[in-house]
Amino acid sequence: MPPPTPICPKCGYDQSGTIATWTDRCPLQGTCPECGYILSWPDVANPSRIHHRWFVEHATSKRQLLRRTLPTLWFLLLPNRYWHRVTMESPRSIKRYFLSLTLLMLFLHSFTTAALFASNFAYHYQTNATINQRLSTLPVAQQQQFARLLTDVSSSDYLIPIIGESFLVPLIFRDNFSEGIASGIFGVALVCLGISIMWMLLYCAFPVTRKITKLRMVHVSRAMIVAGFAPMLVIEFARLLEAVHYASIYSNFMTQISMLIYPMIFIGVLSMLVWTQWFWIAATKIGWQIKAKWWELVLVTTASFLGMPIAGLIMLAFKPVRAAVEHFAYWVGI
């Protein structure tokens, strides 16, 4: 197998000509004549030598993929720390990133599904206990009337719809979980995705920008995927808040906790928006080493909010999917 062509990791310029001028020794560092990027010649010649033990995209087995998912998210939490380590020379695998994110989402979704189901089950169980206690004090004629209020929590007529709804929130919404927290956070996550798409368009769509940055578009598209889909994890936290809110109906302890829900939602929404912008600014200044002035970053950051209409279009495109899920849910009895 022939060795890979030595190219500048930033702009993709072929460095074979520079390497051919070496006669008596091989320098460790150099400068790309096209974009001015400081090159590490060992990394340019053999990018696979860069291996981060915490990075999920460098995992070589399923076990490593699982073990490195949380450390990768920990580094992503502070974009400056992430981009100081994940340089442009680092080998990337968006397939592994998507796979790890999907597995984590499935795990969190199973946990929040159990939490939503448990909150509903506990409510009906406690309601049944209250009704049974009241029945013993009523005349026989009224006992039959009040007995109709009991819910058979062991029957499939109760279990299947509640388990199904717990799994499908916020794609479907019935009367059991009606606060709309997960639906709202889902909309904010789409806004973050729209902002990331707008950053990508600002980098890729304008020839002047491409000429100034001299950046390979593969870096921008990968950043869009990472920044666009990471906020989706917050939807699972919102589902957990739905369970806490429902549990507050019958639990005094949960009532105290539920008082913090709306401040937590406000902080969560603000954090998602700030993190998305922070990720792109850190990518620009640290990861891609683009010498942008502060006012240029402010201008681009402001322009990125034009991605909100893109999020609106995504929401419109998602409506048929939601309708199809609703139809399927009714068909199976949820």
Q: Are residues 26 and 172 in the same domain?
A: no
Asked if residue 56 is part of any domain, the answer here is: no
pLDDT of the residue at 83: 95
In a domain, 80, yes or no: no
Domain count of the fold of the chain: 2
State the residue range of the domain holding 12: 1-49
Could you tell me if 254 and 148 lie in one domain? yes
62 part of a folded domain: no
Listed residues 33, 49, 65: the one ending a domain: 49
* Shared domain check, 272 and 212: yes
- Cis preceding linkage at 231, omega within 30: no
Task: Provide the pLDDT for residue 152.
Answer: 80
Asked if residue 102 belongs to a domain, the reply is: yes
Token couple for 150: 């009991």
Q: What is residue 174's predicted lDDT score, i.e. its pLDDT?
A: 65
Structure tokens at 120: 């509903």
Both 188 and 44 in one domain: the answer is no
- Output the pLDDT for position 258: 77
Q: Specify the length of the chain in residues.
A: 334
Q: Looking at the structure, do residues 213 and 307 belong to the same domain, yes or no?
A: yes
274 and 173 co-located in one domain:
yes
Same domain, 254 and 125: yes
Q: What per-residue confidence (pLDDT) applies to 177?
A: 55
What pTM, to 2 d.p., does this model score? 0.87
pLDDT at 39: 86
Question: pLDDT tens, position by position, for the chain (334 residues)?
Answer: 456 778 888 888 888 888 888 777 788 888 888 888 888 888 888 887 888 899 999 998 889 999 999 999 999 999 999 999 998 888 888 889 989 989 999 999 999 999 999 988 888 888 888 877 877 777 776 777 777 777 788 888 888 888 888 898 888 866 555 568 888 899 999 999 999 999 999 998 877 788 888 888 889 999 999 999 888 899 999 999 888 888 887 777 777 887 888 898 899 999 999 999 999 999 999 999 888 888 989 999 999 999 999 999 999 998 898 889 888 888 888 7
Q: Does 205 reside within a domain?
A: yes
Residue 99 lies in a domain: yes
My answer on whether 37 and 160 are in the same domain is: no
Whether 107 is covered by a domain: the verdict is yes
User: 133 with 27, same domain?
Assistant: no
**Secondary structure in 3-state letters for the chain:** CCCCCCECCCCCCECHHHHHCCCCCCCCEEECCCCCCEEEHHHHHCHHHCCCCCCHHHCCCHHHHHHHHHHHHHHHHCHHHHHHHCCCCCCCCHHHHHHHHHHHHHHHHHHHHHHHHHHHHHHHHHHHHHHHHHHCCCCHHHHHHHHCCCCCCCCHHHHHHHHHHHHHCCCCCCCCCCCCHHHHHHHHHHHHHHHHHHHHHHHHCCHHHHHHHCCCHHHHHHHHHHHHHHHHHHHHHHHHHHHHHHHCCCCHHHHHHHCCHHHHHHHHHHHHHHHHHHHHHHHHHHHCCCCCCHHHHHHHHHHHCCHHHHHHHHHHHHHHHHHHHHHHHHHCCC
Q: What's residue 17's pLDDT?
A: 82
Same domain, 139 and 13: no
127 and 14 co-located in one domain: no
Residue 72 belongs to some domain of the structure: no
